[in-house]
Amino acid sequence: MTVIKFADKPQQKIRPTKLPKCPLNQIVNDFFPLEFQSLFLTQVQLEEAAEIRIRLYRPLMILYRSGKEQVLNVICQREQLNYIIERLNQSSVYAWEEEYRRGYITITGGHRVGLSGKALLEGGNIRTMKNISSLNFRIAHQVLGAADRIMPYLNEKHRLCNTLIAAPPGCGKTTLLRDIVRQLSDGLYAPLGSMTVGLVDERSEIAGSVDGEAQLEVGIRTDILDGCPKSEGMVMMIRSMSPQVIVTDEIGTKEDINAISMALSAGVKVIATIHGSCWRELCNRPFLRPLLDSHSFERIIFLTNKERIGRLELVMASDGNDYTVMEKC
Amino acid sequence: MKIVGAVAIIVAFSAIGFLVAHHYTLRAQQLQMLQSAFGLLETEICYGLTPLPKAFDRIGKRTAEPLSSLLINVGEDLLFHRLTLTEAWRHFLQSLGRVSALKKNDLDCLWYFGQGLGEGDLAEEKKKFRLLSQQLQEQYQEAIQERDKNQRIWQYLGITLGIAAVLILI
């Protein structure tokens, strides 16, 4: 008789198939007309770039991660811009209506292209965008290990704490959140072990999904709900995928907060981010107050971009009655 | 020997007649094939919201030759060869004209349809498809009428000419 043995822990580390890597020069090859390609090859350090800005009848600009700006000696004409747009939308405007409405397209590699032009309205809401005049290629940089310093704060007696990460825009919240997801999902931080993660990625920023496929590394136990409104998504996740942790980005509306309360009462852990740079600002957020008063979040982590992006500023911990400063950098 | 020669001449003439007649049948068949292929494309575009390269690839795999590989080529031209839709569409129609029995009118319908395909929103795309299907239907009706009118004529003409040639030669 064959006896099937179940191993308590995987004996060896199982690595998932490698995600499709999209080298940066492929973006240039795929989307830019020939006359731009040669410029990029000779003058631009693509690996260091954070943004490529293209505006109609204006010179091309590259913004580097160091904050430096480079203005290229070439003017973008209408046909060149149209070529890039046609490559981006694969000659199929109808397929990207939702993306046009939201103002960006996510491309292979998880990079995002912001669009601006003339908005067409219907009943006061944006229906689509026409005559696009500016593009902004925002290069996604996954920082593996970005959460190494944070992970110990999320652990309390081998149990994950409900955590809120607060920072102004551009401080590395999403990068940090992505790495937390990866580490929890792959079980890289030993005291917490591995967990099933339900990732509600409304704006495709965390996993950078294209056609429902994650372009950035988010771990082997992560289920991604891509492009779904957070409030509905969290409820769907709890019902359908039974996650141990729900992770979502940039909460703020009343519906989001209600969904989080629901998740917490269902016994699911929540990790979320929010805009705000200090405790007072969080308290002023209209709908967040009840969650803070009820001490639903056991940890609140503040990030800053002073000195470097994603620097840990303050960690607050709740003991059920009070928030106390756990770590101040 | 004479009889063998006479039979050969009659067979050859009738074959030419039947070939020309078959051309009329082919055109109607191919128009019908186009109609169903573009019906599929409409579903992919208007209901599946599939981008054009993938949509062409998918419908190519679900249609019969000679249309199949041509449609797949359009998808590849767009995706890998970085052609604009207008260029890819021109290639498509040129090759379609070479391998099919379609007339210039039929190809013209398709050419106008290809202009601006994918540039509008859903409502506009639906309109384009409605127009195309109407036009293809008209062309199909015309092809049927033409077939009914000419098919028999060419078949009989082939045989008759064969017999006439034999009589003259004898």
Nearest CA in chain B to A86: B84
Query: Which two three-digit tokens encode residue A200?
Result: 């509600």
Architecture of domain A151-328: 3-Layer(aba) Sandwich (3.40)
| Among the partner residues A83, A91, A128, nearest to B121 by beta-carbon distance | A128
Distance in angstroms (rounded) separating the CA atoms of residues A60 and A53? 6
Are A91 and B84 an interchain contact pair (Cβ–Cβ within 8 Å)?
yes
Sign of CA dihedral B113, B118, B122, B124: negative
pLDDT value at residue A20: 55
Architecture of domain A24-138: 2-Layer Sandwich (3.30)
Query: Which two three-digit tokens encode residue A310?
Result: 């994603």
Are A95 and B79 an interchain contact pair (Cβ–Cβ within 8 Å)?
no
Q: Where are the domains of chain A?
A: 24-138, 151-328
Query: Chain B residues with CB inside 8 Å of A96's CB?
Result: 51
* Sheet bearing A49-55, strands edge to edge: A69-75, A59-64, A49-55, A125-138, A111-122, A104-107
Query: Which two three-digit tokens encode residue A222?
Result: 């992560």
Nearest CA in chain A to B47: A95
Are A97 and B122 an interchain contact pair (Cβ–Cβ within 8 Å)?
yes
Query: Chain B residues with CB inside 8 Å of A86's CB?
Result: 84-85
Q: What is the ipTM of this complex?
A: 0.71
Using H for helix, E for strand and C for coil, what is the string for B2-68? HHHHHHHHHHHHHHHHHHHHHHHHHHHHHHHHHHHHHHHHHHHHHHCCCCHHHHHHHHHHCCCCCHH
Across residues A61-88, what is the average pLDDT? 88
Q: H/E element holding A246?
A: strand A245-248
Are A91 and B121 an interchain contact pair (Cβ–Cβ within 8 Å)?
no
Question: Number of CB pairs < 8 Å for A and B?
Answer: 50
- Please indicate if any CB of chain B lies within 8 Å of the CB of A83: yes
The per-residue pLDDT of chain A, averaged, comes to: 85
Distance in angstroms (rounded) separating the CA atoms of residues A88 and A97? 13
Please give the C-alpha separations between residue A115 and each of A54, A128, A249, in angstroms, as whole numbers.
10, 11, 21
pLDDT in tens, A24-36: 778 888 888 888 8
Closest CA to A198 of A165, A227, A221, A174: A221
pLDDT value at residue A11: 46
The 10 Å Cβ neighbour count of residue A140 is 19
Are A94 and B120 an interchain contact pair (Cβ–Cβ within 8 Å)?
yes
pLDDT in tens, A1-23: 556 655 555 445 555 555 555 57
Instruction: Identify the residue whose tokens are 């994603």.
Output: A310
Query: Chain B residues with CB inside 8 Å of A89's CB?
Result: 51
**Chain B residues 27-56 with a CB less than 8 Å from chain A:** 45-46, 49-55
Please, which residues have CB within 8 angstroms of residue A60's CB and are 6 or more apart in sequence? A36, A39, A52, A53, A54, A71, A72, A74, A76
Are B82 and A91 an interchain contact pair (Cβ–Cβ within 8 Å)?
no
Distance in angstroms (rounded) separating the CA atoms of residues A257 and A250? 11
Distance in angstroms (rounded) separating the CA atoms of residues A247 and A155? 16
User: Regarding beta strands A125-138 and A111-122, do their DSSP bridges make them parallel or antiparallel, or are they unpaired?
Assistant: antiparallel
pLDDT value at residue A1: 54
- Helical segments of chain A, H only: 24-31, 34-43, 78-88, 97-102, 151-154, 173-186, 230-241, 254-265, 279-284, 289-293
pLDDT in tens, B112-161: 888 888 887 888 888 988 998 998 899 899 888 888 888 888 888 888 88
Of the given ranges (A224-233, A265-274, B19-28), which has the lowest mean pLDDT? B19-28
Distance in angstroms (rounded) separating the CA atoms of residues A295 and A299? 9
Query: Model confidence at A185, in pLDDT bands (50, 70, 90)?
Result: very high
pLDDT in tens, B94-116: 888 888 888 888 888 888 888 88
**Chain B residues 75-114 with a CB less than 8 Å from chain A:** 78-79, 82, 84-85
Q: Where are the domains of chain B?
A: 2-169
Whether the Cβ atoms of residue A166 and residue A273 lie closer than 8 Å to each other:
yes
Judge residue A240's burial from the number of C-beta atoms within 10 Å of its C-beta, 0-12 exposed, 13-18 middle, 19 or more buried. Answer: exposed
pLDDT in tens, B32-76: 888 888 899 899 888 888 888 889 899 988 888 878 888 888 888
pLDDT value at residue A15: 58
Are B117 and A91 an interchain contact pair (Cβ–Cβ within 8 Å)?
yes
Whether the Cβ atoms of residue A56 and residue A133 lie closer than 8 Å to each other:
yes
- Please indicate if any CB of chain B lies within 8 Å of the CB of A213: no
- Please indicate if any CB of chain A lies within 8 Å of the CB of B67: no
pLDDT in tens, A295-308: 889 999 998 888 77
Nearest CA in chain B to A97: B121
